[in-house]
Amino acid sequence: MTDSSLKNDVFLRALLREPVPYTPIWMMRQAGRYLPEYRETRAQAGSFLALAQNPELACEVTLQPLRRFPLDAAILFSDILTIPHAMGLGLDFVAGEGPQFASPLRSEEAVAALAVPDMALLQYVFDAVSVIRRELDGQVPLIGFAGSPWTLACYMVEGQGTQDYRQIKSMLYRRPDLLHRILDINARATIQYLNEQVRAGAQALMIFDSWGGVLAHHHFQAFSLDYTGRVVSGLMREHEGRRIPVIVFTKGGMPWLEAIAACGADAIGLDWTTSLSEARRRTGDRVALQGNLDPMALFGDEASIRREARHVLDDFGAPQGGGHVFNLGHGISRFTPPEAVEILVDEVHSHSRRASA
């Protein structure tokens, strides 16, 4: 089921709940600003967007963390907002302010004009996947990714990051029909986008529902999970004779864990507020779990980093049967000392090997 040409397929095996010799680890945003070499390449590219749009440089930053740390997976360097950018919303990354859209969706006309973009506009992403896959040369599997339809819609309607989600929730409460149209288009675009990533060489897929957790309890299913589930069911799950595992990560998704686990994904990402043992119980071990160290634990001293890592591992339990991929509960902070990551990876590998012995 897994790929014999891969030198390290522990990550894929863990996702498929097959036996593993240790718990694999990768980190959300592992190719990022906490690495001096990343900051150098980004300066060379001129901007975040120029970096993401240059397949060679995107490949370079994707590989940087793997040169430092024995991580068990690579993840495409890109951004979830490439799709709305291709839809013509005009993405820009403003220094210190994060992503902004020049033309957020605020009118019935703007929503009516929205359409699934031509995937040719996203060729730079698929090219980056191909280049990275080639350069990885089977060292570890490559993860492709996209945002969930709801999370994309948050950015598309708000136009930027938000504390209160007032614009999109005003639309949800006043004009749910407009929001459903956006979500439908996002879902269809995301299916095409992720399947193209698989064709270009992605060996696993991750869907980031970063803002699903801000919805009222009774709205999560209709406005977030239903569309994530539609994406999952539209994905190619086999390619080149291999299973392509899909991970769904909903930050703050704890209230809906059972439902998320039933959406068709192979694995569920968890943030640090959830206990892995409780999540195993609630999901009945029907999916693999990915997570869930508090990213701020990397600001501890060596002893506490090792202790917190062991806590996560032990909370899940022995790794032999697979089913656990170690990760942070959210993206790594730009202020993280790289040495902390070295300690973390070492502890995850060595402690889980001991637990498997």
State the residues that interact with a copy of itself by CB under 8 A: 164-166, 169-170, 172-174, 213-218, 220, 252, 254-255, 272-275, 293-297, 299-301, 304-305, 308, 311, 315, 329, 333, 335
Alpha carbon of 107 to those of 86, 150, 182, 233, 283: distances in Å? 19, 18, 12, 30, 40
Q: Taking the CA atoms of 25, 325, 302 and 41 in sequence, report the sign of the dihedral they define.
A: positive
Which of 196, 209 has the CB closer to a copy of itself? 209
**With 0-12 CB in 10 A as exposed, 13-18 as middle and 19+ as buried, what is 102?**
exposed
Nearer residue to a copy of itself within complex by CB, 19 or 173: 173
For the CB of residue 181, give the shortest distance to a copy of itself in the complex, in Å: 18
Question: Of the residues 9, 13, 22, 29, which is catalytic?
Answer: 29
Catalytic residue status for 282: no
- Among 9, 34, 38, 79, the one annotated catalytic: 79
For the chain, how far is it from start to end, CA to CA, in angstroms? 24
d(CA 72, CA 58): 19
Q: From the candidates 34, 38, 155, 227, give the one annotated as an active-site residue.
A: 155
- Residue 121 or residue 222: which is nearer to a copy of itself going by CB? 222
Residue 273 CB, nearest approach to a copy of itself (Å):
5
Reported as type and span, the H/E element at residue 281 is helix 276-283
Shortest separation between residue 98's beta carbon and a copy of itself, angstroms: 11
174 carries an active-site annotation: no
Closest CB to a copy of itself among residues 333, 356: 333
Give dist(CA 104, CA 89) in Å, integer: 6
Catalytic site residue from 42, 133, 230, 306: 42
Active site residue 42: yes
Query: What is the amino acid identity at position 8?
Result: N
Q: Which is nearer to a copy of itself, 252 or 264 (CB)?
A: 252
CB contact set of 131 (below 8 Å; sequence gap of 6+)? 55, 56, 58, 59
CB of 312 to a copy of itself, least distance (A): 9
Spatial separation of the C-alpha atoms in residues 38 and 334, rounded to whole Å = 11
In the complex, least distance from residue 62 CB atom to a copy of itself, rounded to whole angstroms: 24
Write down the catalytic residue from 3, 33, 124, 127.
Answer: 33
Residues 100, 91: Cα–Cα separation, whole Å = 6
135: nearest Cα among 231, 47, 57, 199: 57
Residues 6+ apart with CB under 8 A from 18: 1, 2, 322
Q: How far is the CB of 309 from a copy of itself (least distance, A)?
A: 12
What residues pair up with 243 in beta bridges, in sequence order? 238
Least distance between a copy of itself and beta carbon 196 (Å): 33
Nearer to a copy of itself, 59 or 179 (CB): 179
Distance CA(97)–CA(243), nearest Å, equals 39
Of the two residues 126 and 326, which places its CB atom closer to a copy of itself in the complex?
326
- Assess whether the previous peptide bond of 292 is cis (omega < 30° from 0): yes
Catalytic residues, by residue number, are 29, 33, 42, 79, 155
